[in-house]
Chain A
Amino acid sequence: MKAWSGFVKPLIVVWVTGVIVAGFLVPVPRIPILEHTARNLYFHVPLWFALMAAFLLSGFYSARVLANGRIEDDIRASQAALVGIAFGIMGIVTGMVWARFTWYVGTSKWWNNDPKQVMAAVQLMIYASYFVLRNSFDEPARRARVSAVYNLFAASTVPFLLYVLPRQLESLHPGGEGNPAFDEVTDPAMRLIFYPAVIGMISIFWWIYSQRVRIVLVEEALEDDG
């Protein structure tokens, strides 16, 4: 672990710096309405991939808590959710700003109940409730199990937000009704930056998440000693 993490972290720094510089400087095709805001594809969409990674990781560790009751898995599940909240808020804000100056230009709308916005907001509400629930416990073992139950129960409703609601609400996102799918609108050249940006954002998520886990583990160990 130690040997390769010392090499991986500088690599993440170089990789993400490269993605950001390329994202701002490499020419993008001039699509009407989108124009230069198309560059947000490199930042907004990867933030959502990172939130999805956080969601899967948190659910995975919550299931492990139920299987073996280890406190460390509970710490991992909660820290994945915590870092996920940060990425989710950034994803919502970048999306709102992007939509405000493209789809809703001239309407002064910031929020339009787009199914993807609803899904993101609900996911953040779930994690916020998850932390409120966690903070109400004193006993670590019970906190681990009950909050894992809530995390997984809430996760069971996410497929409805992902697949069912978009069919009932109108969406302006790619793939929505009457909108071209991602493949048709995205210039192949943009994918050369987009896919590395996804990898970079998920790596940053993983980095912050693993640091958070280590901090909490150290804090717990200090509490046990004192």
Chain B
Amino acid sequence: MGWLSGAIAVLAKDVQLERRSRYALNTLLLFAVSSLLIVAFAIGGAPLSTGLRSVILWIIILFSAIAGLSHAFVSEEERGTILLLQLNATASAVFVGKLLFNLGLSLLMNTVVAVMFAVVLGFGEANVPALAAILLLGAIGLSGATTLISAIIARTPNKGPLFAVLSFPILVPLLVSVVGGTTKALEGGGIADVFAELSTLVGYAGMVITASVLLFDYLWRD
């Protein structure tokens, strides 16, 4: 099997499994929506500054991602299907397939959270293209950084809570950039105004994905 068809096959397999169980998707979306509602109820009618809005938006996205994106490799370990994957596809093809699946999940999550946020808390005078660009690049960076962590915790004996502990320090540069960019976008700044943040996010995503592909080999060959 070629590299690209291998990656697509892994992605298609995960999408198929997800369509049957909807486990990851339901966890992710339900966590995101309920934490958003809890925040909205807790805030009540208090006025929110643009800076505070973008912090709340990204904290919700970050915690939902931690809750929902850890399944990628843990599920293979739990089902005992790792050996089968190792036999049938190269390491990088498996990684890229899983990365694309996680990317799809985070894009969906970011869209749902942003729409819900707009309805419940409101974005005010936000510049929509700039906000959409940050949400898109944020999803790429988020899935890029968490997919390798998911592969790491799948190798540990007790999988659960480690995911958050290992992910947070790695996500700090991403968080600072997306929160800064979102604040500017919420104040009405266009693509040109958030260009510095966008290029940081492109660089961050490129860096973590390159490092992941290089390092994943060592986790896979066991």
Residues of A bordering B, CB below 8 Å? 66, 118, 122, 125-126, 129, 132-133, 136-138, 142, 145-146, 148-150, 152-154, 156-157, 159-161, 164-165, 167-169
Interface residues of A, dominant DSSP? helix
User: In the complex, which of the residues B162, B176, B197, B218 contacts A66, with contact meaning CB atoms closer than 8 Å?
Assistant: B218
Judge whether B197 and A168 touch: CB under 8 Å: yes
| Given contacts A137-B157, A160-B200, A132 and B176 within 8 Å (CB-CB) | no
Given the complex of chains A and B, what is the CA–CA distance between A160 and B168 in angstroms? Answer: 15
| Given contacts A129-B169, A149-B219, A157 and B207 within 8 Å (CB-CB) | yes
User: In the complex, which of the residues A138, A145, A157, A160 contacts B219, with contact meaning CB atoms closer than 8 Å?
Assistant: A145
Chain A residues with CB under 8 Å of B203's CB are 160, 164
Judge whether B165 and A129 touch: CB under 8 Å: yes
Given the complex of chains A and B, what is the CA–CA distance between A125 and B219 in angstroms? Answer: 22
How far in angstroms is the closest Cβ of chain A from B138?
14
| Given contacts A137-B157, A142-B222, A153 and B170 within 8 Å (CB-CB) | yes
Indicate if B110 sits at the interface (CB-CB under 8 A): no
Judge whether A145 and B170 touch: CB under 8 Å: no
| Given contacts A161-B173, A165-B173, A168-B197, A150 and B166 within 8 Å (CB-CB) | yes
| Given contacts A125-B169, A164-B203, A168-B177, A153 and B148 within 8 Å (CB-CB) | yes
How far in angstroms is the closest Cβ of chain A from B12?
27
Judge whether A153 and B211 touch: CB under 8 Å: yes
Chain A residues with CB under 8 Å of B157's CB are 136-138
Judge whether A129 and B166 touch: CB under 8 Å: yes
**Nearest-neighbor residue (CB-CB) of A134 within chain B:** B156
Chain B residues with CB under 8 Å of A156's CB are 207-208, 210-211
Given the complex of chains A and B, what is the CA–CA distance between A126 and B173 in angstroms? Answer: 13
**Nearest-neighbor residue (CB-CB) of B181 within chain A:** A168
Chain B residues with CB under 8 Å of A122's CB are 169, 172
| Given contacts A118-B176, A169-B176, A153 and B215 within 8 Å (CB-CB) | yes
| Given contacts A133-B166, A156-B207, A149 and B215 within 8 Å (CB-CB) | yes
Judge whether A161 and B156 touch: CB under 8 Å: no
Chain A residues with CB under 8 Å of B222's CB are 142
Contact with A along B142-182 (1 / 0, CB 8 A): 00010011001001111000100110111011001100100
Judge whether B212 and A168 touch: CB under 8 Å: no
Indicate if B82 sits at the interface (CB-CB under 8 A): no
Chain A residues with CB under 8 Å of B177's CB are 164, 168
Judge whether A136 and B158 touch: CB under 8 Å: yes
Chain A residues with CB under 8 Å of B152's CB are 133, 146, 149-150, 153
| Given contacts A142-B222, A156-B207, A169-B176, A164 and B200 within 8 Å (CB-CB) | yes
Judge whether A154 and B200 touch: CB under 8 Å: no
Q: List 14 A-B contacts (CB under 8 A).
A: A118-B176, A132-B162, A133-B166, A145-B219, A149-B219, A150-B149, A150-B166, A153-B148, A153-B170, A153-B208, A157-B208, A160-B173, A160-B207, A164-B173
Indicate if B15 sits at the interface (CB-CB under 8 A): no
User: In the complex, which of the residues B162, B170, B176, B197 contacts A154, with contact meaning CB atoms closer than 8 Å?
Assistant: B170
| Given contacts A132-B165, A133-B152, A160-B207, A149 and B197 within 8 Å (CB-CB) | no
Indicate if B196 sits at the interface (CB-CB under 8 A): yes
| Given contacts A136-B162, A145-B219, A157-B207, A168 and B180 within 8 Å (CB-CB) | yes
Given the complex of chains A and B, what is the CA–CA distance between A148 and B148 in angstroms? Answer: 13
Chain B residues with CB under 8 Å of A154's CB are 169-170
Chain A residues with CB under 8 Å of B204's CB are 157, 160
Chain A residues with CB under 8 Å of B156's CB are 133, 136-137, 146
**Nearest-neighbor residue (CB-CB) of B176 within chain A:** A165
Given the complex of chains A and B, what is the CA–CA distance between A146 and B156 in angstroms? Answer: 9
Judge whether B170 and A168 touch: CB under 8 Å: no
